[in-house]
Amino acid sequence: MKFLDEAKVWVKAGDGGDGVIAFRRERFVEFGGPDGGNGGKGGDIVVQAVEGLNTLIDYRYAQHFKARKGGNGAGQDRTGAGSENVVLKVPVGTQILAEDKETLLADLDEAGKQVVIAQGGDGGFGNAHYKTSTNRAPRRADKGWPGEERWLWLRLKLIADAGLVGLPNAGKSTFLAAVSAARPKIADYPFTTLHPQLGVVRLNATEEFVIADIPGLIEGAHEGAGLGDRFLGHVERCAVLLHLVDGSQPDPVRAWRTVREELAGYGHGLDEKPELVALNKLDAMTPQARSSRLKALERAVGHPVQLISGVTGEGVPEVLRSLARTIAETRKAG
């Protein structure tokens, strides 16, 4: 299934039904009077977050959604039928933005959460509504109110507990494949990951968390270089970031700083999130290089850095336990 995390849709709620002018005419009823009914309510446009979806691809080609008009009133004080709502089902974590792409209208961050995004019009009054002691035969009925219509942006931000960040070829996909059942594309060239991947990490029978791998960042990503920073929104909701640094390259400190600068350039508090740093590709380093690069990176980071190998699994269990502990502490504090 193709991954799509942004879509623009047009929605139009149903117009209200029209009220009618009618009079009661029955045998043996001397003064019939008005009995025109009111119109029915138009259908609403509802957006609902459901489980089992992880992409907005359904809204790539079907972009226009319109609810039906309410039924017109009828004689004998019969109210028109209300129209059914149109429900747009989206993945959990979808944000609804106005046409300006900046005004947040709703954030559907829980399964089952829903919002009426366009209100259906109320039905118009029939002439029975205007009957008074001084106006016993009103000849007035109203048209139904129009339903709301608007353009909307749907933007998906995946729900994950931990986010994987790093330069291209830092070993993020290999790490995700090693710790979960996810099967991302793995190759020895940059940008093998073209869209975010989710994996569930199970530490034991009762403890698990979700980890997200996003495409690698390069210098200038917040200005559009490489794949840009458009996928960073998928780690905004994470409790902790796992920053993987390629230990096989000669200058891991520069690699770490490059990603940190891109996180700061993106904003939204990503550079302030708890961060665990791991020097990856332990199996590709000599003991001397391992020691010198680890010390240099720890001086730059300011706290201990863990050594791991996504290929052999060395150091991976310790990192997963640290992630689980940090996630629990962050969620509790938040």
Is 310 marked as a binding-site residue?
A: yes
Largest distance between two CA atoms of the chain: 109
Is 144 marked as a binding-site residue?
A: no
Is 167 marked as a binding-site residue?
A: yes
Is 31 marked as a binding-site residue?
A: no
Question: What residues does 247 pair with on adjacent strands?
Answer: none
Look at the block and give the residue holding tokens 């003991």.
287
Is 185 marked as a binding-site residue?
A: no
Is 204 marked as a binding-site residue?
A: no
Radius of gyration for the alpha carbons in the chain, expressed in angstroms and rounded? 29
Is 191 marked as a binding-site residue?
A: yes
Is 194 marked as a binding-site residue?
A: yes
Q: How far apart are CA 238 and CA 260, in angstroms?
A: 16
Is 133 marked as a binding-site residue?
A: no
How many Cβ atoms sit within 10 Å of the Cβ of residue 305? 24
The string of DSSP letters for 65-76 reads EEPPPPPP-BTT
Question: What is the CA angle 318-323-325, rounded to 5?
Answer: 95
Is 143 marked as a binding-site residue?
A: no
Is 129 marked as a binding-site residue?
A: no
Beta-carbon contacts of residue 120 (< 8 Å; ≥ 6 apart): 13, 14, 15, 16, 41, 42, 43, 44, 67, 70, 83, 85, 147, 148
Is 309 marked as a binding-site residue?
A: yes
How many Cβ atoms sit within 10 Å of the Cβ of residue 286? 8
Beta-carbon contacts of residue 284 (< 8 Å; ≥ 6 apart): 247, 248
Is 54 marked as a binding-site residue?
A: no
Is 135 marked as a binding-site residue?
A: no
Is 229 marked as a binding-site residue?
A: no
Is 89 marked as a binding-site residue?
A: no
Is 166 marked as a binding-site residue?
A: yes
Helices (H), the chain: 172-179, 252-266, 287-301, 316-333
Q: How far apart are CA 243 and CA 6, in angstroms?
A: 26
Is 169 marked as a binding-site residue?
A: yes
Residue numbering of the annotated binding site = 166-173, 191-195, 213-216, 280-283, 309-311
Residue numbering of the annotated binding site for Mg(2+) = 173, 193
Residue numbering of the annotated binding site for GTP = 166-173, 191-195, 213-216, 280-283, 309-311
